[in-house]
Amino acid sequence: MSKDKNTIETIHVVSQTHWDREWYQDFQGFRARLVYMIDELIDHMEKDLEYKHFMMDGQTIVLDDYLEIRPENRERLQKLIQDGRIDIGPWYVMPDEFLVSGESLIRNLQKGMSQSRAWGVEPMLSGFIVDIFGHNSQMPQILQGFGIDNAVLFRGFHGDADPAEIWWEAADGSRVLGLKLDEDRSYSDFYFAFRWPFFDRDDAYEEHKEELIERAVAHMAYKNERATTSVGIGMDGVDHVEIEPQLPLLIKLLNETDRLNVKFIHSSLEKYLEELRSKLGELRVYKGEQKALAYNGVNNWVPENTLSSRIHLKQQNYICETLLEKWAEPLGVIASLEGRTYPAGFLNKAWEHLLQNHPHDSICGCSIDQVHRDMIYRFDQSRLISEQMIKEQTSYIVDHLNEADLNGNQAFTVFNSSSFGIEGVIEAELLLPAGSDAAVALKGMGGTSFRLYDHEHNEVSYQVLSIRSNSANKFRPYRELPRMDVVDRYRIAFNASIPALGYSTFTLEKYTIEHPAPLAYSAPKLRGTVRHMGSMQTDENTWNNGRIILQVGTNGTIDVTDIQSGHTYTGLLLFEDEGDIGDGWSHIPPVGNTRVRSTGLQAVVSTVADGAFQSTICVQLTLKLPKGIEPSEIGRSREYVDVPVTTYMDLKKDDPVVYCRTSITNTARDHRLRLLFPTGLEADHYFTSTPFDFVKRDVHAPDQSNYLRKPFEVVPHNGIVALDDGKKGVAVYSKGLYEVSVRDNAQRTIALTLYRSTHKEVLSDGSDGGQLLGQLDFEYAIRLFGTQEDSRAGLWREHQLYSAGIQTVNRKQGKLYKETPHRRDANLALRKSYLNLQSDELILSAYKQADNRDGYDIRVFNIEDMDGVGVLHFDRPLSSALLVNLDDKPQGELAVEGNTVKVNVKPKQIVTLKVKFA
């Protein structure tokens, strides 16, 4: 490009404020400032027509927050919005892109756009994501799904005079125009160039006009280095800043000088885009994830360790997303197809509580302690709503099973929310009347006194894993006061077949314990005692489930052998701890960074459960860790504390996964604890899951020693990291853990961060909130796989099932007490599937009622690098199937054949269908 073409002739000044709802100040403190800011904005815009435009940071939640305090100003605010002077949307909140699910990103935009339209306007059609800590690889596709063809970007780029306009392509090839803000002043370049230097000077602009123009000359030289066209943007705002009432005067002074060959106009982002589109030439293309290490720039950095800050927040978010996406919504569909009203209002409220925790400074765990305490309440409300809906929806099915098929027996129903059937060992909880079973009443008999049958009355063998006696089971009959049964809770394992997105019911036939008559000299009689034999344990520290052999070492690490390939992975589950003098954003090791590993510890190994279907092994360790950091922060404390670590490992018959749960009593401060999996694989690349994508990453890190900041040491993932050598591989699954790395060492060690303990907080003296003292629990799993047998899509589906699990609902014998007013005929089959997705490439992301209640939305995506095809089988005939975009706009019609519809999906593409039933 020629220099003349790169000279900016027009600057569109866009007034805005970047509004972190909570961060270095609590929400209520920030809201007070927000109210005063919008009060002034409304007053000033009504009085001064030269102050033409203002943009609400691309998020609508600020309007809700304002109107809760100033409901009387709604009409005044609405007029300015409808007159086009205040731009709102498209987001509800500005989220992080890696710590929330792909569905959460979509629902966030859907809510923001819906709220904008409720104000009587179309939302601002811009992917305004200016302060997010890097960008995921599918964001351009998500934006295009809403008809948004551009994104305003800042972090995650090289930052050495990057061009101001770029093309940004998603993993599927979808492309948006990227408005790349500069690496120093980002979404505040106009503010820092012209407002900030004069904020404490009276009559600043006119009195200091020469200085103003000098700054303008320097500013335009800086911007012209990055320009690709003759039109540019000036961002008039910064974090939580109020308007500049003298902005029209400031623009007038800039336009009066003959030293600048540029015209400044007070404008909007969309007007800037309108002019820019007509001037675009050839642009640089950036593909996929944008999370580059910044070469330079004042604020141009991606805080990588927000992935592990205050990990309990990430875990709770993961639970809430899973409950909503994998259970409450699809179960809502199932129950509505059987006559119950879809609980849209409840689920929308659960999403609202959850989304309010997704702003980048909230979910990232880099705010003050009060902010993160407030988040716990919102997580609780979202979770409690989902759990209540799940309970009601599953009970609705169980309460209306065909009573003749149950034959008067106690039963339990296992629900599967996956789009594919479950075949294998599962766990279920049975509730038996307290003391009614031989395992409790006659412990010396060594068995139970009930038999288990499937829906076709085939007897099912089972294994008792644990029993909890005399437990309260509360219920409330509709129109009655609450009641309570005293029960024994049995946890059993058995081999089961549960259909896709459906359920299967099992019945119990109990045997009577006949006690001797008074004064009679005889033993109790058991009719049909069921004893459960078998073992997976082959010696003191070795277990074989038919698919893998697991051996526990004296230090608590494990060796796992894949029976199919014969390969053994050694030394897995090694704990490594190091110091951390950083904060919510960054892990910073002290110079004297004593690293502690569990290599030389002596573990206590025990067998908690063992049988033909499942074994549970417990490994107990005590880590001796430095108590904290020396006051100088040069090194770690010389005083050590005990940190107990208990890990449970479940092996299920013929299952290639080792299911792990680790509980840690954290008594140490200022440290990071990681779990190591040395794979021993010869691999140059590995894969991690992020929203709607499996990202391929290089094990070898480039030389970035001359960069402004230290090189990245970890990468984001949302539950799967996989490594293979072309024939065999290891995947680590996890729930609510997001920070991982694969080390460039001989062992190609996967390092999974469990948590970081930090004291420092933004603009405060710090607190213990980030230290995470007390009990911490983690769930993860080890999956051995072969590259010929196990696809990436297969691993993803398996992880979905691992995350969601199953739901079990008991139905006791005798009179049935329903807890809600919802009724239908009691004629439901004991087993049923409502949706089965047959595909080697496609993953089910959502199944819910359409927002306009006109049919049901089904979202799938192709995780593979090849074209995918899926056939969706429903439980009833279809009348129509439409392709729609994420904004519910029709994109085409699909042919339906009875109960099925076929969909073709391009590599890495996200597709949404709207189906109606005949």
Average pLDDT over residues 775-798: 96
CA atoms within 13 A on the CB side of 723: 26
Compute the distance between CA of residue 682 and CA of residue 746 in angstroms, rounded to an integer: 8
Q: In what order do the strands lie in the sheet with 868-874?
A: 835-838, 868-874, 900-905, 896-897
Average pLDDT over residues 709-728: 95
pLDDT value at position 510?
A: 83
Percent of the chain whose pLDDT exceeds 90: 91
pLDDT in tens, 515-533: 667 777 766 665 555 666 7
Residues, the chain? 918
pLDDT value at position 705?
A: 86
- The pair phi, psi for residue 798, each rounded to 5°, is -65, -40
Confidence of residue 3 (pLDDT cuts 50, 70, 90): very low
pLDDT in tens, 25-68: 999 999 999 999 999 999 999 999 999 999 999 999 999 999 99
Of 114, 59, 106, 109, nearest to 86 (Cα)? 59
Question: Under a CB-based contact definition with an 8 Å cutoff, are residues 677 and 571 in contact?
Answer: no
Which residues, listed in sequence order, are joined to residue 897 by a DSSP beta bridge?
900
DSSP three-state, residue 537:
strand
Of 709, 585, 714, nearest to 159 (Cα)? 709
Question: Under a CB-based contact definition with an 8 Å cutoff, are residues 757 and 668 in contact?
Answer: yes
- H/E stretch holding 30: helix 27-47
pLDDT value at position 512?
A: 66
pLDDT in tens, 806-841: 999 999 998 899 999 999 999 999 999 999 999 999
- Cβ neighbours of residue 399 closer than 8 Å, sequence gap 6 or more: 811, 816, 818, 826
Residue 677 has pLDDT above 90, yes or no: yes
Residue 910 has pLDDT above 70, yes or no: yes
Question: Under a CB-based contact definition with an 8 Å cutoff, are residues 784 and 561 in contact?
Answer: no
- Cβ neighbours of residue 13 closer than 8 Å, sequence gap 6 or more: 190, 234, 236, 247, 251, 264, 265, 266, 267
pLDDT value at position 298?
A: 84
Please name the amino acid found at residue 310: R
pLDDT in tens, 602-625: 999 999 999 999 999 999 999 999
Residue 709 has pLDDT above 90, yes or no: no
DSSP conformation letters of 93-123: S-B-SSSS-HHHHHHHHHHHHHHHHHTTSPP
pLDDT value at position 44?
A: 98
pLDDT value at position 532?
A: 66
DSSP conformation letters of 402-437: -HHHHTT-EEEEEEE-SSS-EEEEEEEEEEEETT-S
What is the CB neighbour count within 10 angstroms for residue 371? 26
Residue 156 has pLDDT above 60, yes or no: yes
Average pLDDT over residues 578-596: 97
Compute the distance between CA of residue 429 and CA of residue 412 in angstroms, rounded to an integer: 9
DSSP conformation letters of 739-760: EEEE-SSTT-EEEEEEEEE---
Residue that wins the pLDDT comparison between 556 and 525: 556
- Cβ neighbours of residue 479 closer than 8 Å, sequence gap 6 or more: none
- Report the CATH number of the 10-298 domain: 3.20.110.10
- The pair phi, psi for residue 237, each rounded to 5°, is 170, 170
Name the CATH superfamily, with its identifier, for domain 834-918: Golgi alpha-mannosidase II (2.60.40.1180)
Average pLDDT over residues 756-780: 97
pLDDT value at position 515?
A: 65
**E strands, 344-482, in order:** 410-416, 422-433, 450-453, 459-460, 462-475
pLDDT value at position 438?
A: 86
Rg of the chain, C-alpha, whole Å:
30
pLDDT value at position 522?
A: 67
Where in the chain are the domains?
10-298, 403-533, 537-790, 834-918
pLDDT value at position 514?
A: 66
pLDDT value at position 4?
A: 44
Give me 830's structure tokens. 């004991």
Residue 884 has pLDDT above 70, yes or no: yes
Peptide bond into 90 cis (omega under 30): yes
Domain 537-790 has CATH 3.40.50.1000: no
- The pair phi, psi for residue 297, each rounded to 5°, is 115, 140
Residue 222 has pLDDT above 60, yes or no: yes
Domains 10-298 and 834-918 share a fold: no
pLDDT value at position 525?
A: 63
Residue 2 has pLDDT above 50, yes or no: no
Give me 769's structure tokens. 């909130």
Question: Chain-centre distance of CA 611, in angstroms?
Answer: 35
Domain 403-533 has CATH 1.10.3720.10: no
Compute the distance between CA of residue 477 and CA of residue 818 in angstroms, rounded to an integer: 6
Residue 594 sits at the vertex; the CA angle it makes with 591 and 597, to the nearest 5 degrees, is 145
pLDDT value at position 136?
A: 97
Residue found under tokens 């551009």? 150
- The burial class, CB within 10 Å (0-12 / 13-18 / 19+), for 329 is buried
Please name the amino acid found at residue 113: M
Residue 545 has pLDDT above 70, yes or no: yes
Which residues, listed in sequence order, are joined to residue 424 by a DSSP beta bridge?
496
- Cβ neighbours of residue 95 closer than 8 Å, sequence gap 6 or more: 104, 105, 108, 132, 355, 358, 359, 360, 363
Of 433, 405, 314, 205, nearest to 756 (Cα)? 314
Q: Beta 831-833 vs 502-510: how paired, if at all? A: antiparallel
Angle, nearest 10°, between helix axes 209-224 and 247-256? 80
Give me 813's structure tokens. 């014998």
Residue found under tokens 């038919």? 546
Q: In what order do the strands lie in the sheet with 10-15?
A: 231-236, 10-15, 263-267
pLDDT value at position 353?
A: 98
Mean pLDDT, the chain, rounded, equals: 95
pLDDT in tens, 70-112: 999 999 999 999 999 999 999 999 999 999 999 999 999 999 9
pLDDT in tens, 470-486: 999 999 999 999 999 99
Average pLDDT over residues 196-216: 89
Q: Is the dihedral of CA 134, 140, 145, 146 positive or negative?
A: positive
Compute the distance between CA of residue 97 and CA of residue 687 in angstroms, rounded to an integer: 18
